[in-house]
Structure 1
């Protein structure tokens, strides 16, 4: 079973309403950028765990085997 960047983007947009989601990549390797208030008061590990909980079934199936993440609040994104 394979999954593409558009499918991951849709899955995360549904799971994280109000967030800006961008996903790039393919062949099991993806770069995920999510910007949202949901990350306020969460450290880096908790932010990643939040994303992984929505991708876990795809990771376990082998469809996703590498994910790099940029997970920011809107204030953090504005500082870039």
Structure 2
């Protein structure tokens, strides 16, 4: 699995206004901004991302994925505050 492949999988499963993926091939970090996250708690957002990865999570193709998930409004506020 490459960062580009993981990026493509997430983008194919969720509408993303912004998506960053970094990692070393097994351990990944992602910043995901999606309007689909509106009204959902962090756990629900993560479940949505895991659902886009399906069996790749189950078969350990993606061993660890650390996520920061934002709605577009939350992302704008985070950017204004200098957070990432």
Q: Structure 1-normalised TM-score?
A: 0.87
Give, in whole Å, the separation in 2 of the partners of 1:53 and 1:35. 16
Give, in whole Å, the separation in 1 of the partners of 2:51 and 2:16. 18
1:26 Cα deviation from its structure 2 partner? 2.1
1:18 Cα deviation from its structure 2 partner? 4.4
Give, in whole Å, the separation in 1 of the partners of 2:65 and 2:3. 11
Give the structure 2 partner of residue 52 of structure 1: 50
Give, in whole Å, the separation in 2 of the partners of 1:18 and 1:70. 13
Give the structure 2 partner of residue 62 of structure 1: 60
Contact residue 14 and residue 52 of structure 2 kept, 8 A: no
- The unaligned stretches of length 5 or more in structure 1 are none
- SS of residue matched to 2:39: coil
- The unaligned stretches of length 5 or more in structure 2 are 79-84
Contact residue 13 and residue 19 of structure 1 kept, 8 A: no
Contact residue 20 and residue 34 of structure 1 kept, 8 A: yes
Q: Structure 2-normalised TM-score?
A: 0.84
